[in-house]
Amino acid sequence: MAAQESEPTLIGSVQRALRLVDIVANAPRPLPAKALAAATGLTAGTTYNLLRTLVHEGYLSAEPDGIVLGDRFPSFQEQIDSRGVFLARVRAALREVTDEVGATAYLSRFDDGEVHLVDIVDGTHKPRVELWVGLHSSAHATALGKQILAGLGESERLDYLSRHRLEELTPKTISDRATLLTQLQQSPGWVVDDEEYSIGSTCLAVPVIAPGVTASLAISLPAEQAVVDRALVRRLQRTARNLSLQLGADALDSGAAGVAVGDEFTI
């Protein structure tokens, strides 16, 4: 009788580690260690030990609000559509902006006809704007949303506005459709929300454009301190272009987002 083939030798710890990476790679948000333990059925101790190793080796990265993909998992690096890869690259870009500018940074994305908030990284001394109205209902009043609307084709923009009421969230909200359309059409490649969503807060947003990705990178500032100058706009545009390239944009297309701005524009 022919000898039966021996069963392959499987290393359980490797399987468990790869399962953790797979879950993180497909998560739309950073995942706390406790959530990963619950998702895998592993004990907290085993989960923490595996995560510590994966973070040390660069396959995962520990953020204040959870675990995201690191820079050293090559099999995922070409999968731009992977939610985990997208989130990891977005998180790195937001962290860069927050560290350099000192303001809270945000990224939104247009998907399936709606504007969605993807991620936020808080600035140390300039806290986030509390999103008391969801972005899907307030795109007209936020720099995050207006930048995306400005970047859409005319038919998509009109379709979006036909499905959403322009609610007056503050006395400064642009609730007139014609006025909003004029502002969007005249956008110079960046958009400002001047206390239109929240009194006391001003936001600046620039586009992030790549194949299959229409997104907006923004920062929020206290309104009384908000000065948008050439250096600030270009700093944000530079990070947005780099993120666009990482997400698969052509170098020439990503460079088109950079436009000249005045030396200083006080909100």
CATH tag for 83-266 (out of 3.30.365.10, 3.30.450.40, 3.30.1300.10, 3.30.110.30):
3.30.450.40
Q: How does pLDDT run across 194-242, given as a tens digit for each residue?
A: 899 989 888 999 999 988 899 999 998 887 776 777 888 899 999 999 8
Q: ∠213-198-258 over CA atoms, to 5°?
A: 35
Share of the chain above pLDDT 70, in %: 82
Q: What is the CA radius of gyration of the chain?
A: 21
d(CA 128, CA 131): 9
Q: How does pLDDT run across 53-71, given as a tens digit for each residue?
A: 999 888 888 888 888 888 7
Break the chain into its structural domains and give their ranges.
Answer: 12-76, 83-266
d(CA 160, CA 249): 25
pLDDT of 168 > 80? The answer is: yes
pLDDT of 150 > 50? The answer is: yes
Quick check: pTM over 0.75?
no
Q: Kindly report the CATH number that applies to the domain delimited by 12-76.
A: 1.10.10.10
Give the residue-averaged pLDDT of 76-87: 59
Q: What is the dihedral of CA 257, 258, 260, 262, to 10 degrees?
A: 100
